[in-house]
Amino acid sequence: MTRICVLILSGACFAAVAFCADGDQALLNQAKQVLGPLPTAMVSEKNPITADKVGLGKMLFYENRISADGTVSCARCHPISLYAADGLRTSIGDSCKAVPRNAPTIFNAASQVGEHWTGSRADVEDQAKEAVTVRVISGMPSYDAVKKGLGKIAGYGPLFEKAFPGDKDPVNIDNYALAVGAFERTLVTPSAFDAFMNGNEAALTDPQKAGLKTFLETGCSGCHSSAYLGGQMYQKFGVAEPYWQYTKSKNIDEGRYEVTKNESDKYVFKVPVLRNVEMTCPYFNDGSVDSLHTAVWIMGKVQLGKNLTDQETGGIVVFLKTLTGEIPEDAIKVPILPPSR
């Protein structure tokens, strides 16, 4: 290890010794206790990934015609071009209805404790199924209307048959959800951080490694854990102080209380995945903060009760940018949908 470091960095290594040789290994070990590299896909026993399901799911992900006003597809609030978020504070759904929260990216999103900011959906399949009929998202009047709508686009029949062999009546809402879910389960975006976690010490620069160390030691990884750096637990937003004192939120969102009606779930949200956070501003449940630097500082303040210095905050941001990953080649390509006739 030392030898490689010396070869690459020459004398400079000995001056900035913190992340050479043993320092790197120690940081890697420290990181491995709570974080990890991404898997190649987010598998589920309930919904095994097959090429036919993924292919169909990608088409349905882009399908705007299965919405009440004909303009809403999954891709509307999760456009691949914006790392599967939409850049808005809060999204706008069918017939211009206001979605109450910021659209989280659906990259690296299928291994969470629940979906949505409040965990109101069990998994990506549940989210896909319910979003189609939710009034403020796709607004279809019923599951049956979805089935009928899909049935009108003749080209889908053979694709559902192929993706769900043996199913006598495969064009239905449950298979719709399984197909979209299977596609989403392939959307992992490995980054420089994963190369580091897989043992390539040169994959991160010294400032990035320093940022990771700050991220770990400040306490961020206490909640933003796992390969996804989030998505594994619910947590009160505002442990130390009310969040809205810093976010300047226009409305106070009671979070998971909306789902459980438990007093203890007031202001509780799912800890969001930090993968690609550089690319998915604005931040927080209501998209109230534009700057990643500000968002990190607020997190320190209201979650950890710490007034992070500019250097600490900046260091964490430098690390977070190493989570910007590569979008799977197939997901970059738009599917061609069957015509309506």
Asked if 282 is part of the footprint of a copy of itself (rule: CB under 8 A), the reply reads yes
Binding status of residue 290 toward a copy of itself by CB under 8 A: yes
The reply to whether 83 sits near a copy of itself by the rule CB under 8 A is yes
List 6, 49, 88, 113, residue binding a copy of itself (CB under 8 A): 88
59 versus 128: smaller Cβ distance to a copy of itself: 59
Contacts 24+ apart (CB under 8 A), 98-102: 98/136, 99/136, 99/137, 100/136, 100/253, 101/253, 101/285, 101/286, 102/282, 102/283, 102/284, 102/285, 102/286, 102/287
CB of 79 to a copy of itself, least distance (A): 7
Q: How far apart are CA 109 and CA 167, in angstroms?
A: 28
What separation in angstroms does the CA of 309 have from each of 213, 223, 304, 315? 15, 20, 13, 10
Binding mask 137-156 toward a copy of itself (x if CB under 8 A, else -) reads: --------------------
Choosing from 2, 25, 81, 311, the residue that interacts with a copy of itself (CB under 8 A) is: 81
Residue 340 beta carbon to a copy of itself: minimum distance, rounded to whole angstroms: 5
Q: Which amino acid is residue 313, in one-letter code?
A: T
CB-based contact 189:326 (threshold 8 Å):
yes
Tell me the CA distances in angstroms from 68 to 78, 91, 127, 131, 335, one per residue in order.
18, 16, 18, 12, 22
Site for a copy of itself in 220-279 (CB under 8 A): 278-279
User: Which helix or strand (DSSP H or E) is residue 128 part of?
Assistant: helix 124-133
- Quote the CA–CA distance of 220 and 324 in Å, as a whole number: 18
Compare residues 166 and 339 and give the one whose CB is closer to a copy of itself. Answer: 339
Tell me how many residues contact a copy of itself (CB under 8 A): 37
Question: Taking contact as CB under 8 A, which single stretch among the options 42-50, 116-124, 180-188, 332-340 is the one that binds a copy of itself?
Answer: 332-340
> In the stretch 47-76, what mask flags binding to a copy of itself with x, by CB under 8 A?
------------x--x-xx---xxx----x
Query: Residue 278 CB, nearest distance to a copy of itself (Å)?
Result: 7
Binding a copy of itself (rule: CB under 8 A), the pick from 82, 195, 233, 259 is: 82
Question: Hey, which bits of 221-310 come out as E strands?
Answer: 234-236, 268-270
Q: Is 134 in the site for a copy of itself (CB under 8 A)?
A: no
Tokens of 135: 């009034």
Give me 146's structure tokens: 């979805």
List residues binding a copy of itself (CB under 8 A). Answer: 59, 62, 64-65, 69-71, 76, 79-83, 86-88, 92, 95-96, 278-282, 290-292, 327, 332-337, 339-341
